[in-house]
């Protein structure tokens, strides 16, 4: 789940309640401290630095999340991503999300941000993981392959 505290504030404000950005951040920290959610920080592969927001949060127990939602919003792709994140954490990996602002052939930035689902580090080992719940056709396969190839060429240059 991608979460920005200012978006949560605006969502709550629409429902005629007022709450500060600081309060939302505090609640998110409480959820992390109580092990209800865990976070994956975004890493800018070109700038070689961590990006503070938005942080991706994953439920540590999908059963609790689904029970709270009355099992109404079962999205297989999000559930799969959450389960794989949890498994990587259990196996001792530090898990981050890589983002990259795509550029055109002339090196100019274009408005497209690419995301590689996970980069997992454990000691000297590093794995790059791109998830796809289903690959129904050749076009989807090529799109996923192009994304991985694009990241590979960026990593080779780094």
For the record, the structure tokens of 11 come out as: 């969502």
Q: What is the pTM of this model?
A: 0.78
pLDDT of residue 64: 83
pLDDT of residue 53: 66
Dmax over CA atoms of the chain, in Å, equals 50
Confidence of residue 9 (pLDDT cuts 50, 70, 90): low
Digit-coded pLDDT (tens) for 68-100? 778 777 788 888 999 999 999 999 999 998 877
Do 117 and 97 touch, CB atoms closer than 8 A?
yes
Give every CB contact of residue 59 below 8 A, 6+ residues apart in sequence: 1, 36, 37, 65, 82
Across all residues in the chain, what is the average pLDDT? Answer: 81
Confidence of residue 15 (pLDDT cuts 50, 70, 90): low
Average the pLDDT over 41-47 and give the result. Answer: 76
* pLDDT above 70: percentage of residues in the chain: 78
Do 54 and 3 touch, CB atoms closer than 8 A?
yes
Digit-coded pLDDT (tens) for 110-155? 556 677 889 899 999 988 888 888 899 999 898 888 888 887 787 7
Whole-angstrom Cα distance, residue 68 to residue 30? 18
Spell out where the chain has E strands. 2-3, 37-44, 49-59, 94-103, 109-122, 125-129
Whole-angstrom Cα distance, residue 72 to residue 78? 14
């Amino acid at each position: 789940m991608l979460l920005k505290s200012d978006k949560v504030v605006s969502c709550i404000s629409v429902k005629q309640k007022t709450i500060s950005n600081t309060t939302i951040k505090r609640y998110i920290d409480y959820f992390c401290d109580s092990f209800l959610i865990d976070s994956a920080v975004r890493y800018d592969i070109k700038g070689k630095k961590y990006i503070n927001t938005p942080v991706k949060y994953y439920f540590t127990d999908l059963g609790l999340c689904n029970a709270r939602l009355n099992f109404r919003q079962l999205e297989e792709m999000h559930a799969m991503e959450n389960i794989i994140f949890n498994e990587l954490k259990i196996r001792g990996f530090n898990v981050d999300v890589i983002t990259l602002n795509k550029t055109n052939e002339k090196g100019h930035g274009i408005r497209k941000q690419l995301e590689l689902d996970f980069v997992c580090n454990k000691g000297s080992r590093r794995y790059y993981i791109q998830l796809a719940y289903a690959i129904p056709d050749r076009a989807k396969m090529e799109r996923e392959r192009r994304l991985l190839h694009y990241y590979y060429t960026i990593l080779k240059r780094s």
